[in-house]
Structure 1
């Protein structure tokens, strides 16, 4: 039996690209990934992004020689993801490192997304949506950006596409079980539950990829 045991490390990088602490403040550098050196030598790398791009954790954004206080977040995300893809291709294309990118972890707050009356939320939902054709929400536009960037890379990157599956789990968020009366925590998920499925899919992809190492 083949041994797939690995040593795991978690590195927090909300935006993939660097945030530098300068005299002027925290600068999100869309064209820099100096922190990426910490990832070199890994057998497996799993990336994910977009969730935090809606939150401003910087004072300025730097794009080349241009410094601005803020910009369209999807545009900034695209530039950052392109920087990440160039870094991966420059440093890992000749290595055996397996690279994965986890899809977007969606919310499921609006009941009209699954055909419920307007104003209905996921509070009180105890079952997933079984009829996939009944899901009415539009795809997240950032998902298409991720797919386009990955398709243009020299280094093969495996997309862990968990978004649509998770959108159907209107019953699976933590708020229902943690006593939060506001009921708005729809981007974190209960364990045991949806993350277990993510992990099963990742393990299947990882072991399948390992057979070809």
Structure 2
């Protein structure tokens, strides 16, 4: 099996794994009194690089050829899976002038991260960003020696190391950012008050978290919050409780650390064409162009956005919100649809790589680069 196929198959297996292995480690989440904190500002304080801008054609895009990247799984590699059009690869996010984003400089980032560990923690939307970043770095240093490994069991993960730079990038599967475990009766418990799996994340120099999609699914037998046990509960309430527990864990374990912490904003799907002026029942399937009239986009705010902002604002540890929602809402053309290996599929949730997640990483890079924050 080719290296990229082996890694792709393994990542897919990890994503489909239950991630529910039992753990007996002591709790690392401890309560801490929070001081109100304003959200971390955007990369350029006077510019809203997230919500004011448009997608412009750029013939220098894409930033890499996915066919040359050994780290993207086939389910995200739309060209490999037969997508015939290429226009979706040719768009760059342009903040409203005079604001702009720096060109992604993979060699500079590898040099800055020399000897560092960068960890992504979350669901398959976080994998979208993780694999995109791997490809962007690989394109910048195609001759660099790399090693890839994976782990299953208690903490499923993928690790890619750029040996010539001593840079390690890890993805940890965590659908909820709080613990999902087996009890003694082999029932699955979603524990809203513990982050025991967080012991694996300690030591990273940069952490990117993300969670929401799986909260809409019931992948547990019961929910436990302290001494309270219920079979199910309002998912928004559960998400809020879980995110608050995660926030306490971050403050308790990373407050004194130099670790830079990011939270991936809500990645929208495109299942309702009325949001961009199409007829009812239209989805992203067959779309080949972005929404070019931002004023005509009628997508509704996601309630979890306000929850995330409120929780992050109440934390003591600075956490930067990668507020990718609006720019991604305009990219109805960027999803994998049936080009994810499922010919009957209409995946309007995940994104092609190369594609929209490359811009998420360009913004990620700009935040790191702003204010000399590339220095450690």
The TM-score range, normalised by the shorter chain, is: over 0.9
> 2: distance between equivalents of 1:179 and 1:133?
35
Q: Deviations over 1:40-59 (max 9, x none)?
A: 11101110001111111111
Q: Which residue matches 2:182?
A: 21
Residues 138 and 36 of structure 1, relative CA distance in 2, 3 Å threshold: same
TM-score when normalising by structure 1 = 0.93
Give the corresponding residue for 1:134. 296
Whether 2:160 is the aligned partner of 1:160: answer no
2:168 alignment counterpart:
7
Per-residue CA deviation, residues 103-152 of structure 1 (Å, 9 max, x unaligned), is 11111111100111222222221100011111111111001100010011
d(CA) in 1 for partners of 2:112 and 2:264?
A: 20
8 Å contact from structure 1 (residues 51, 105) kept in 2? no
Counterparts of 1:84-163 in structure 2 under 5 Å? 84-163=246-325
Bigger Rg over Cα: 2
Query: Unpaired segments of 5 or more residues in structure 1?
Result: none
More strand by share: 2
- Give yes or no for the alignment of 1:71 onto 2:179: no
The aligned residue for residue 186 of structure 1 is: 348
Q: 1:16, 1:45 → 2: CA distance?
A: 13
2:208 alignment partner, SS class: strand
Name the SS of the counterpart of 2:333 in structure 1.
Answer: coil
CA–CA distance in structure 1, aligned partners of residues 254 and 211 of structure 2:
19
CA–CA distance in structure 2, aligned partners of residues 13 and 179 of structure 1 = 24
Which structure has greater helix proportion?
A: 1
Partner SS, residue 283 of structure 2: coil
- Note closer, same or farther for the CA distance 1:10–1:114 as it changes in structure 2 (3 Å cut): same
Does residue 38 of structure 1 match 2:197? no
Give the superposed CA RMSD: 1.7
Aligned-partner Cα distance in 1 for 2:181–2:224: 10
Partner deviation per Cα, 1:63-86 (whole Å, 9 max, x = no partner)? 111111111011000000000001
Count of paired positions: 213
How far did residue 177 of structure 1 move?
3.3
Name the CA distance, whole Å, in 1 between partners of 2:213 and 2:368.
24
TM-score scaled by structure 2? 0.54
Q: Does the residue aligned with 1:62 lie in a helix, a strand or coil?
A: strand
2:368 alignment partner in structure 1: 206
| Unaligned residue ranges in structure 2 (runs of 5+) | 1-107, 114-166
Asked if 2 retains the 8 angstrom alpha-carbon contact of 1:124 and 1:176, the reply is: no
Q: CA deviation at 1:7?
A: 1.3
Q: Distance in 2 between matches of 1:182 and 1:136?
A: 28
Provide the secondary structure at the position in 1 that maps to 2:300.
coil
Structure 1 residue 207: deviation in Å? 3.0
